[in-house]
Amino acid sequence: MKALFLGGVAADTHAGIKDELPPGLTSAVIGEPIDRSKLPDAALDADILVSNHWRADYPPAPKLRLVQSVATGTELFDLAALPKGCAVCNSFGHETAIAEYVVMAMLALHHRFFQISGEFRERGSWATSWVQSGKPHGEVRGTTLGIVGYGRVGREVARRAAPFGCRILAANRSPRERDPEVERVYPLTELDRMLPECDTVAICTALGPETTGLITAHRLALMKPTAFLINIARGQVIDEDALYAALSGNKLGGAAIDVWWQYPSQNDPTRRGSRHPFHELPNVIVTPHNSGWTAGMVRRRWDEIADNIGRFARGDSLINLVTKT
């Protein structure tokens, strides 16, 4: 049995799990940048593909039966280019790290953390302190958090936010059983009823036809003018122009943005995440799509991938099955 680890993340994964792979499994590793000349031989007899992508112009891989994504999203796999009968599985382990980021961003925004700690460090300003007559900052206790997309990440956010005394609402495409910490799960079609209630809105949904451009200018206007928006999902869930207009026009309280509308490329490694200068807005926390990128996440993801390869080798049922080709 042979596994092909293809791409940079897959090569790192191989290094992390090689001692846990089933005996008798051979591995071919093609890291970043991908050497296309090695691909035909490596693909021809591979039973397992571990990667974040598969392209239509790749050479045939007729024996593939398990396609194990190193990420949660599988949109970079061209399913039509894979042989029939492949199980496509994804991996998680990021949800707890992202949930930490969401709660952290919510706290930082309500507490005006960057402004207060920045001005104290840079200018020795005590203006927000009790020793001067500083304007109090906010807290999350008693505020309403709305979670758009109540999946793995959303649930972990709710679990962590509830002990702070937040009221928690959620909206989800498919019906979800309500966990005790959530007051109500709206259908996504009734999102417009949830948004005006929220002091913080966290976008935790997958990108799909129902969620592309979901947060429009109209929906941003339904939010409280003091509300904070946190996006850890995908940039395209939010209308880029509308969000910039709302934030720069102070129609929203602020935002934490981890996912972007455009990404750096080899030719343009410092490309900004948006054609608008979000990075110049004082009420926005910007991070480079790394909310889930913790050491713990990498370890958990490796464990899941090693587990699934072991299951496949033994003929056991797989975890994290997304689809079959």
Partner 1 sequence: MKTVFLGNFGARPGVWEAILAKTTEKLDVSVLFDLGDSQCLIPALAEAEIVVSHIWKKDFPEAPRVKLLQSVAAGIDMIDVPSLPRGVTVCNVAGHEQAIAEYVILTALAWHHRLIDIAASFRGGVWSTGGGAGGGPTHGEILGKTIGIVGYGKIGREVARRAVGFGCRVIGANRSPIADKGDASEIYPLTELDRMLPLCDVVVIAAGLGPETTRLIDAHRLGLMKSAAFLINIGRAGIVDEEALYTALKDNKIGGAAIDVWWQYPTPDQPNRHGSRLPFHELPNVILTPHCSSATDGARDRRFSTVAGNLDRYVRGEKLNNIVLQT
Q: Which is nearer to partner 1, 92 or 164 (CB)?
A: 164
Interface with partner 1, residue 101, by CB under 8 A: yes
Tokens of 157: 């956010």
Q: Least distance (Å) from partner 1 to the CB of residue 284?
A: 9
Residues in region 296-325 near partner 1 by CB under 8 A: 296-298
Burial 83-116 (b: 16+ CB within 10 A, else e): eeebbbbbbbbbbbbbbbbbbbbbbbbbbbeebb
- For residue 306, which of 64, 1, 3 has the smallest C-alpha distance? 3
Interface with partner 1, residue 174, by CB under 8 A: no
Q: Least distance (Å) from partner 1 to the CB of residue 30?
A: 17
Among 40, 60, 83, 134, binds partner 1 (CB under 8 A): 134
Interface with partner 1, residue 152, by CB under 8 A: no
Q: Least distance (Å) from partner 1 to the CB of residue 134?
A: 6
Sheet containing strand 2-6, edge to edge, reads 26-30, 2-6, 48-51, 66-69, 87-89, 321-324
Among 283, 294, 320, 325, binds partner 1 (CB under 8 A): 294
Interface with partner 1, residue 92, by CB under 8 A: no
How many CA atoms, within 13 angstroms, populate the side-chain half-sphere of residue 324? 5
Pairing of strands 321-324, 87-89: antiparallel
Is residue 209 within 8 A of residue 182, CB to CB? The reply is no
Interface with partner 1, residue 123, by CB under 8 A: yes
> Taking contact as CB under 8 A, which single stretch among the options 33-41, 77-85, 136-144, 146-154 is the one that binds partner 1?
136-144
> Taking contact as CB under 8 A, which single stretch among the options 144-152, 194-202, 238-246, 288-296 is the one that binds partner 1?
288-296
Interface with partner 1, residue 226, by CB under 8 A: no
Q: Least distance (Å) from partner 1 to the CB of residue 285?
A: 6
Q: Least distance (Å) from partner 1 to the CB of residue 31?
A: 12
- For residue 306, which of 85, 25, 8, 7 has the smallest C-alpha distance? 25
CA-based end-to-end distance of the chain: 20
Interface with partner 1, residue 128, by CB under 8 A: yes
Interface with partner 1, residue 292, by CB under 8 A: yes
Question: Which residue's entry shows tokens 């410092």?
Answer: 270
Query: What is 208-235 written as a DSSP string?
Result: STTTTT-B-HHHHHHS-TT-EEEE-S-G
Among 104, 206, 222, 318, binds partner 1 (CB under 8 A): 104
- What is the rounded CA–CA span in Å between residue 118 and residue 126? 11
- What is the rounded CA–CA span in Å between residue 127 and residue 270? 35
Site string for partner 1, 235-274 (x = CB under 8 A): -------------------------x--xx----xx-x--
Interface with partner 1, residue 288, by CB under 8 A: yes
Interface with partner 1, residue 96, by CB under 8 A: yes
The overall longest dimension of the chain from CA atoms, in Å, is 72
Chain centroid offset of residue 142 CA: 27
Q: Which stretches of the chain bind partner 1, using CB under 8 A?
A: 8, 96-97, 100-101, 103-104, 107-108, 111, 113-114, 116-117, 120-121, 123-134, 136-142, 159-165, 260, 263-264, 269-270, 272, 279, 285-298
